């Protein structure tokens, strides 16, 4: 590669990064072998095209799907006939959650019959939330909460927003009850960690829709299903970060404490937990963000909350409605994120440390969660002032609670303080403006966007789909195994074999290949955009300052919301699904690329610049090669993000596995097939993750 | 550092105590807001009414008409539950949903829930007639008069090609939860078409609108009662005539959709509850034309569904009082 002289390195652990890239690894001829694989593949495809493709048409079922259908029927029968488990245990849990959420709703968001308004009106809720934020996170957070909650009212989604908060907070509380002890147990006992980690991997790779249908079956539609599925989705980050936090308490500290003769209990309570406290709060923060995004999707099982208007907008192609309700979700996300972050009283330094140390092979989607923090909303005070005495603080809290009580009482007395005035509601006006704007834009660019769609569809998507989908399954299986082997060695190849067996077992091989095609095309497009944006951001501070908030916003908006404009622009097609996946995956990939480029040591860049190279050469020969690890990681994350959008893409014409999952959710005879499709997506995800992780480990290190 | 560590939990505890105090206070605080709604109908009070809302406008119309009357005349607390058809049936079986107010057949679910499990009951016809079929925009029917017969569809298949249809003609379908035999029909009638999903009623309407405006070809799944027909008079393609029983095996279907007598369903639990809303649901009847009127207000004029229902109910007091008899 380059023949640049390494400048004298700084001392310390960074010294390794200072060295120019030298290919010291055994020369494996990876490129040559991959070329051979592709050649064999194309030749095999030409000969055997259309044979053994394992295509299963939409309505056809195999034995496995029918077995799942029968299983569903017997569960339903069991719960209606008073089976002790499904009717007794699950039925009561479900009834309890429904009751609890119902009570909370009547308290703060929906009319508490026979009252025409909730027990506590908007003024009381507003004051109470702001006060809680002040108590746990400080005065700035209280101001943010105040503004955000007022925003819900002004945008016209008061009740839905508060419902979303109810579900999110409830799920997070239960997550803490389960997740903290589990994380601690995992940190203290290797066996627990080994047993639980794969389950967590599975929970994070399985598309949410795949477990939505069985959950609705068992828990019934409504709030309880919503709480449970939010729980499943939000638990893994909390458990993982808790485990990580306790594990990273320095060995020397433990030894020092041990030499003082503390018991295991004391060690945990007095040493490990306090030292890991900040990391654990990061975990709670991540858990909250995940819960919020899932609480939206839970509207598919009739969960109360902001997901409802978003889905309604999707069904009526109402871009404006989707924008306003989506904006409420963004507000809620920023509010929760900033308050939990401020509550943890620590700077982002710690975050970065956690990011670097958990993004290793085997921790799937970890960086995903950790990167999802919009930092720009509020920064709590950096320079610490001396803290007031605890007594003084408590006195202040008690005093400030008096106006809160007054507000609650007033909101019970006066109708105008109980229901948010509809004359203050600017939501519909914004919605109309957004819709009109979109209509104008769509009408003026739709010939262009359709042409672009056709170029990608006919030029890239269709040929590749034919190559993957119309090759015999055994050829494709062999191709994937050899790609895994040449890129990452025998381990990912072995994982690939297992995953292929699972996909074959689900009977959805052909659909899986179509999904794989779309995933690959989307990932290529994501990486092209991420490289362009990321290099720009990595090289220019002002660019970073401008672009990063946009990326943050895209990461905060639930993916549903941008389906609506994507549909308006490209109508229902595979390309629309790809665009939606890109909108979801580009931010994370771009950030990783930008961080990688910025991470190239300044002295190397300086040395190259003094050698008189052009900026083009600088990018191509110095910065990109040196940021290889970040690029591979970005590809890995891009792939997984794209794959997690497969199901949602199925709603806008993505077809194949994603569509099967969606259909399985809404058509009785496709229930089993939908679950099978969910399993196939999970298998694809594990396979792609392992291949890219091991490829990163082998080729990414400098 | 030390203070920071101990301060957090203590603050949290204090916050929890204060919050609890606030809630208790809220519970016993006097309320001047009048408890507005009391049951006006004599006898048993209504309580809650959980109506499933399936994703098409005509359904929404029925749901809000019943809901509005139940709220204003019977004093019920109405909850609208946005669910797909099958999920609604499931909800009635486990008691979270009381009624479905526009059901399209679903012979398999009728067998499962009404005949076998006995958790759901038929609540009589809605009075509207349902038609499902394949439609083309009017300009196509004028230019290619024979396109209205399925036999000539293969002749025109190449016209309907899109990037999504894999070299065949495209047949656009609606929401994945809609009642459809289209995959089987295409296969069993040997049509050179591929079913592509549009995703929703709105997507279908949007596609028809732009197909008519730009004179582009489109063949799509659609249904009546449907308000959109008053805007664009779509033309139905005739499939092989329906005979009772020809759709018994879903994979072997090779005939048109049956004419649907749309009906309402109620859960067994709700039927036995003695709520006055049971009578309302059973008595509810609406013609295709009336439903289209309200649907146009909701979908086209973007009226709030409750406001649209109110408008129609106030204009048709005789029809409404017949429901409650």
**What domains, with CATH codes, occur in chain A?**
94-119+155-374 (1.10.3720.10)
Question: Is the same domain home to B145 and B195?
Answer: yes
| CB neighbour list of residue A612: distance below 8 Å, 6 or more residues apart | none
- The yes-or-no verdict on residue A265 having pLDDT over 60 is yes
Tokens of A126: 């507003």
How far apart are the C-alpha atoms of B198 and A573, rounded to whole Å? 8
Cβ-proximal residues to B81 (8 Å cutoff; 6+ apart), any chain? A221, A222, A302, B50, B51, B52, B53, B88, B91, B96, B97
Cα–Cα distance for residue pair A7/A624, rounded to 1 Å: 19
Q: Cβ–Cβ of B200/A216 closer than 8 Å?
A: no
The C-alpha torsion from A85 through A87 and A91 to A92, rounded to 10°, is -80
Q: If you write DSSP's letter for every residue of B235-293 in order, what string do you get?
A: EEEBPSPP-TTTTSSGGG--SPPPPEEEEEEEEHHHHTTT-HHHHHHHH----HHHHHH
H-helix or E-strand spanning residue B101: strand B99-103
Q: CATH number of the domain that B91 lies in?
A: 3.40.190.10
Condensed to tens digits (0 to 9), the pLDDT of residues B262-300 reads: 999 999 999 998 889 999 999 999 999 999 999 999 888
How many contacts, defined by CB atoms under 8 Å, are there between A and B?
213
CA atoms within 13 A on the CB side of B96: 32
CB A158 within 8 A of CB A123: no
Strand-pair partners of B80: B51
HSE-CB at A445 with a 13 A cutoff on CA atoms is: 15
**Weakest-pLDDT range from A113-122, A450-459, A684-693, B164-173:** A113-122
Which residues of chain B have a CB within 8 Å of the CB of A651? 176, 199
On whether residue B315 sits in a domain, the answer given is yes
Q: What is the mean pLDDT of residues A247-270?
A: 83
A481's tokens: 């195994």
Q: Among A7-21, A413-427, B5-19, B207-221, name the most confident range.
A: B207-221
Chain B interface mutation, best of A165, A277, A571, highest count of B Cβ atoms under 10 Å: A571
Q: How many residues does chain B have?
A: 325
Same structural domain for residues B185 and B159? yes
Q: How many C-beta neighbours within 10 Å does residue B41 have? A: 16
Same domain, B70 and B92: yes
Please check the confidence at residue A350 and state whether its pLDDT lies above 60.
no
DSSP code of residue A571: -
Contacts of B82 in chain A (CB under 8 A): 299, 302, 308, 311-312
Structure confidence at residue A701 (pLDDT): 57
Report which secondary-structure segment, H or E, holds B221: strand B220-224
Which stretches of A557-655 are DSSP H helices? 559-570, 574-599, 602-610, 615-617, 624-626, 628-644, 646-650
pLDDT of residue B171: 93
**Length in residues, chain A:** 702
Structure tokens at B70: 């139940």
User: Residues A330-340: what's their mean pLDDT?
Assistant: 86
Distance from CA of B77 to the nearest CA of A (A): 7
CB contact under 8 A, A572 and B199: yes
Contact B8 A397 (CB under 8 A): no
Q: Is B305 exposed, middle or buried (0-12, 13-18, 19+ CB in 10 A)?
A: buried
Distance CA B208, CA B220 (A): 8
- DSSP states of A679-692: HHHHHHHHHHHHHH
CA–CA separation, B268 vs A40, rounded Å?
62
Q: At B47, list the tokens.
A: 């309580």
> pLDDT of B56-104, one tens digit each?
999 999 999 999 999 999 988 898 888 888 888 988 887 889 999 999 9
Predicted complex: ipTM over 0.90: no
- Nearest CB among A59, A412, A415 relative to B251 is that of A59
Residues 6+ apart with CB under 8 A from A561: A310, A322, A323, A325, A326, A329
- Quick one: which H or E segment has residue B135? strand B120-136
Residues B184 and B233 reside in one and the same domain: yes
Q: How confident is the model at residue B22 (pLDDT cuts 50, 70, 90)?
A: low
A458/B163 Cβ within 8 A: yes
Instruction: Give B48's strand partners.
Output: B77
Nearest Cα residue in chain B from A212? B87
**CATH number, position B202:** 3.40.190.100
Best residue in B31, B50, B176, B213 to probe A by mutation, most A CBs within 10 Å?
B176
Contact (Cβ atoms closer than 8 angstroms) between residue B55 and residue B84: yes
- Could you read off the pLDDT of A67-81 as tens digits, one per residue? 998 998 888 777 777
Q: Residue A16 pLDDT > 80, yes or no?
A: no
| Rounded distance between C-alpha atoms, residue A534 and residue B42, angstroms | 70
Instruction: Tell me what percent of the residues of chain A surpass a pLDDT of 70.
Output: 89
For residue B75, is it within any domain? yes
Beta bridge pairs of residue A251: none
CA A318 – CA A325 distance, rounded (Å): 11
- Smallest Cβ–Cβ distance between A659 and the set B14, B91, B197 belongs to B197
Decide if A478 contacts A673 (C-beta within 8 A): no
Q: Are residues B159 and B110 in the same domain?
A: no
Question: Whole-angstrom Cα distance, residue B129 to residue A122?
Answer: 45
- Please give the pLDDT value at position A381: 39
Q: Which of B26, B96, B195 sits opposite A221 (nearest CB)?
A: B96
- Computed over every residue of chain B, the mean pLDDT equals 85
Confirm if B99 and B281 have CB atoms less than 8 A apart: yes
**Under an 8 A CB cutoff, do B83 and A667 touch?**
no
pLDDT of A259 strictly over 80: yes
> Do B119 and B267 fall into the same domain?
yes
Same domain, B147 and B239: yes
Residues B273 and B240 in one domain: no
CA A601 – CA A491 distance, rounded (Å): 33
Could you give the angle at which helices B57-74 and B305-315 cross, rounded to 10 degrees? Answer: 70
Which of B219, B252, B285 is where one domain is finished? B252
| Mean pLDDT in residue range B241-245 | 90
What is the number of structural domains in chain B?
A: 2
CB-CB neighbors (< 8 A) of B96 in chain A? 98, 220-222, 302
Q: How far is A300 from chain B (nearest CA, A)?
A: 7
Cα–Cα distance list, A124 to A106, B12, B13 (Å): 14, 20, 21
Chain-chain contact of A216 with B30 (C-beta, under 8 angstroms): no
Which chain A residue lies closest to B60 (C-alpha atoms)?
A312
In a domain, B27, yes or no: no
Q: CA-to-CA distance for A152 and B202, rounded, in angstroms?
A: 27
Residue from B3, B4, B11, B187 whose CB has the most chain A CBs within 10 Å, to mutate? B11
pLDDT at residue A15 in the model: 37
Domain of B87, in residue numbers: 48-128+262-324
Classify residue B28: in a domain, yes or no: no
Q: Which residues in chain A have their CB less than 8 angstroms from residue B176's CB?
A: 651, 659, 662-663, 666-667
H-helix or E-strand spanning residue B77: strand B77-82
At B128-163, the pLDDT tens digits run 999 999 999 999 999 999 999 999 999 999 999 988
pTM here is: 0.81
The predicted pLDDT at position A1 comes to: 35
Beta bridge partners of B221: B134
The answer to whether the Cβ–Cβ distance between B117 and A394 falls below 8 Å is no
User: What's the gap in Å between the CA of B278 and the closest CA on chain A?
Assistant: 20
**Domain assignment of residue B231, yes or no:** yes
Partners of residue B197 on adjacent β-strands: B173
Asked if A308 lies within 8 A of B82 by C-beta distance, the reply is: yes
B202 and A316 in contact by Cβ < 8 A? Answer: yes
Q: How many whole angstroms separate alpha carbon A121 and alpha carbon A411?
A: 5
User: Are both B196 and B303 inside the same structural domain?
Assistant: no
Which candidate in A88, A121, A141, A316 is best for mutational testing of the B interface (most B CBs within 10 A)?
Answer: A316
- With beta carbons less than 8 A apart as the criterion, state whether B67 and B80 touch: yes
Q: Is A116 in contact with B37 (Cβ distance < 8 A)?
A: yes
Q: Distance between CA A63 and CA A70 in Å, rounded?
A: 10
Q: Tell me, yes or no, whether B296 lies in a domain.
A: yes
Cα A69 to Cα A667: distance, rounded to the nearest angstrom: 11
Last residue of a domain, one of B252, B284, B308: B252
Distance CA A359, CA A629 (A): 11
Tell whether B72 and B180 lie within a shared domain.
no
Note whether residue B30 is domain-resident: no
| Substitution target from A115, A668, A677 for chain B, most B beta carbons within 10 A | A668
Closest among A152, A160, A151, A247 to A197, alpha carbons compared:
A247
Helices (H), A344-461: 348-358, 366-371, 390-413, 415-418, 427-456
pLDDT (tens digit per residue) in A18-28:
444 444 556 67
Distance, in Å, from the CA atom of A151 to the CA atom of A145, rounded to the nearest integer, reads: 10
Q: CA separation (Å) from A13 to A585, A597, A626, A629, B106?
A: 32, 19, 17, 17, 68
Same domain, B161 and B310: no
Residue B120: per-residue pLDDT = 93
pLDDT confidence of A680, banded at 50, 70, 90? very high
- CA triplet A348, A350, A352: central angle to 5 degrees? 75
Angle between helix A559-570 and A427-456 (nearest 10): 60
Q: Which of these three, B196, B219, B252, is where a domain ends?
A: B252
Judged by CB atoms closer than 8 Å, whether chains meet at A412 and B96 is answered as no
pLDDT of residue B15: 61
Rg of chain B taking only CA atoms, in angstroms: 25
Helix axes A273-297, A223-247, angle to 10 degrees: 150
Answer yes or no: is B60 within a domain: yes
For residue B313, the model assigns a pLDDT of: 95
| Residue in A315, A408, A653 nearest the CB of B164 | A653
Q: Is the dihedral of CA A183, A188, A194, A195 positive or negative?
A: negative
Mean of all residue pLDDT scores within chain A: 81
φ, ψ dihedrals at B100, nearest 5° = -115, 130
Return the pLDDT at B2. Answer: 37
Q: Which residues contact A231 (CB under 8 A, 6 or more apart)?
A: A171, A174, A175, A178, A291
Lowest mean pLDDT among A236-240, A521-525, A599-603, A638-642: A599-603
Q: What is the pLDDT of residue B10?
A: 56
Q: Residue A61 in contact with residue A673, Cβ under 8 Å?
A: yes
Residue keyed to tokens 């309880």: A224
């Amino acid at each position: 590669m380059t023949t640049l002289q390494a400048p004298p390195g700084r001392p310390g652990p960074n010294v390794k990064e200072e060295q120019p890239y030298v290919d010291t690894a055994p020369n494996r001829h990876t490129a040559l072998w991959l070329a051979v694989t592709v050649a064999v593949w194309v030749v095999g495809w030409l000969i055997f095209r259309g044979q053994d493709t394992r295509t299963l048409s939409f309505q056809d079922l195999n034995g496995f799907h029918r077995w799942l259908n029968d299983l569903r029927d017997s569960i339903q029968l069991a719960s209606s006939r008073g089976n002790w488990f499904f009717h007794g245990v699950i039925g009561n849990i479900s009834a309890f959650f429904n009751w609890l959420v119902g009570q909370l709703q009547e308290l703060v968001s929906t009319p508490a019959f026979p009252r025409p308004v909730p027990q506590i009106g908007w003024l009381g809720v507003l004051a109470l939330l702001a006060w809680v934020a002040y108590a746990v996170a400080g005065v700035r957070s209280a101001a943010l909460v105040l503004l955000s909650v007022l925003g819900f009212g002004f945008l016209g989604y008061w009740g839905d927003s508060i419902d979303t908060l109810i579900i999110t907070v409830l799920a997070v509380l239960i997550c803490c009850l389960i997740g903290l002890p589990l994380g601690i147990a995992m940190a203290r006992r290797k066996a627990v960690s080994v047993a639980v980690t794969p389950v967590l991997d599975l929970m994070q790779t399985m598309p949410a829709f795949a477990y939505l249908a069985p959950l609705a079956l068992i828990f019934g539609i409504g709030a309880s299903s919503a709480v449970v599925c939010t729980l499943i989705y939000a638990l893994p980050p909390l458990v993982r970060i808790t485990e990580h936090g306790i594990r990273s308490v320095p060995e020397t500290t433990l030894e020092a404490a041990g030499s003082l003769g503390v018991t295991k209990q004391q060690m945990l309570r007095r040493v490990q937990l306090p030292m890991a406290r900040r990391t654990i709060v990061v975990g709670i923060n991540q858990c909250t963000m995940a819960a919020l995004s899932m609480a939206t999707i839970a509207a598919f099982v009739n969960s109360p909350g902001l997901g409802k208007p978003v889905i309604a907008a999707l069904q009526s192609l109402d871009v404006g409605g989707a924008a306003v309700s989506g904006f409420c979700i963004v507000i809620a996300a920023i509010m929760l994120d900033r308050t939990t972050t401020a509550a943890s009283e620590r700077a982002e330094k710690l975050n970065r440390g956690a990011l670097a140390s958990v993004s290793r092979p085997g921790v799937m989607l970890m960086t995903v969660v950790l990167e999802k923090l919009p930092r720009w909303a509020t920064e709590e005070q950096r320079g610490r002032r001396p803290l007031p005495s605890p007594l003084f603080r408590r006195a202040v809290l008690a005093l400030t609670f008096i106006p809160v009580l007054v507000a609650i009482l007033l909101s019970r007395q006066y109708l105008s303080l109980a229901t948010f005035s509809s004359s203050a509601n600017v939501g519909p006006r914004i919605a109309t403006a957004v819709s009109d704007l979109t209509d104008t834009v769509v009408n003026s660019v739709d010939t262009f966007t359709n042409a672009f769609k056709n170029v990608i569809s006919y030029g890239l998507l269709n040929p590749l789909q034919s190559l993957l989908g119309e090759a015999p399954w055994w050829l494709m299986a062999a191709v994937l195994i050899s790609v895994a082997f040449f890129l990452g060695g025998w381990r990912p190849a072995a994982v690939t074999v297992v995953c292929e067996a699972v996909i074959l077992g689900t009977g959805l091989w052909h659909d899986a290949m179509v999904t794989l095609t779309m995933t690959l095309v989307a990932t290529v497009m994501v990486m092209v955009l991420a490289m362009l944006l990321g290099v720009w951001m990595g090289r220019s501070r002002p660019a970073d300052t401008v672009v990063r908030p946009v990326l943050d916003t895209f990461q905060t908006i639930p993916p549903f919301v941008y389906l609506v404009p994507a549909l308006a622009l490209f109508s229902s097609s595979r390309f629309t699904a790809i665009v939606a996946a890109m909108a979801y995956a580009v931010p994370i990939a771009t950030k990783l690329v930008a961080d990688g480029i910025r991470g190239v040591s300044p002295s190397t860049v300086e040395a190259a610049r003094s050698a008189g190279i052009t900026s083009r050469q600088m990018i191509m020969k110095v910065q990109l090669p040196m940021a290889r690890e970040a690029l591979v990681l970005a590809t890995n994350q891009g792939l997984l993000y794209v794959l997690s959008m497969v199901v949602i893409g199925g709603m806008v014409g993505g077809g194949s596995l994603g569509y099967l999952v969606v259909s399985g959710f809404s058509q009785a005879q496709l229930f089993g097939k939908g679950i099978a499709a969910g399993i196939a997506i999970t298998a694809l995800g594990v396979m792609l993750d392992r291949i890219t992780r091991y490829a990163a480990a082998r080729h990414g290190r400098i | 550092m030390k203070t920071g560590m101990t301060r957090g939990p203590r603050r949290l505890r204090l916050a929890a105590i204060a919050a609890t105090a606030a809630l208790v206070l809220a519970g016993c605080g006097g309320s001047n807001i009048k408890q507005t709604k009391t049951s006006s109908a004599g006898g048993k009070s209504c309580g809650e009414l959980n109506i499933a809302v399936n994703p098409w406008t005509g359904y929404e119309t029925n749901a809000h008409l019943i809901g509005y009357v139940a709220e204003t005349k019977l004093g019920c607390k109405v909850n609208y539950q946005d669910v797909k058809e099958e999920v609604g049936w499931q909800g009635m079986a486990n008691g979270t949903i009381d009624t479905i107010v526009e059901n399209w057949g679903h012979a398999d679910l009728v067998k499962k829930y009404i005949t076998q499990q006995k958790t759901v009951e038929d609540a009589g016809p809605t009075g509207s007639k349902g038609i499902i079929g394949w439609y083309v925009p009017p300009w196509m029917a004028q230019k290619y008069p024979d396109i209205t017969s399925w036999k000539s569809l293969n002749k025109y298949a190449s016209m309907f090609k899109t990037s999504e249809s894999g070299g065949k003609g495209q047949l656009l379908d609606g929401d994945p939860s809609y009642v459809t035999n289209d995959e089987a029909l295409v296969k069993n009638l040997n049509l050179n078409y591929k079913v592509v999903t549009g995703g929703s009623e709105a997507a279908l309407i949007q596609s028809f609108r732009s197909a008519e405006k730009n004179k582009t070809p489109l063949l799509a799944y659609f249904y009546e009662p449907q308000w959109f027909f008053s805007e664009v008079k779509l033309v139905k393609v005739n499939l092989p005539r329906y005979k009772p029983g020809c759709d018994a095996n879903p994979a072997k279907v090779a005939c048109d959709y049956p004419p649907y007598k749309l009906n309402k369903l109620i859960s067994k639990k709700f039927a036995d509850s003695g709520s006055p809303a049971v009578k309302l649901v059973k008595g509810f009847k609406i013609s295709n034309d009336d439903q289209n009127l309200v649907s146009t207000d909701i979908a086209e004029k973007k009226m709030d569904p409750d406001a649209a229902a109110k408008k129609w109910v106030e204009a048709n007091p005789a029809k409404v009082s017949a429901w409650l008899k």
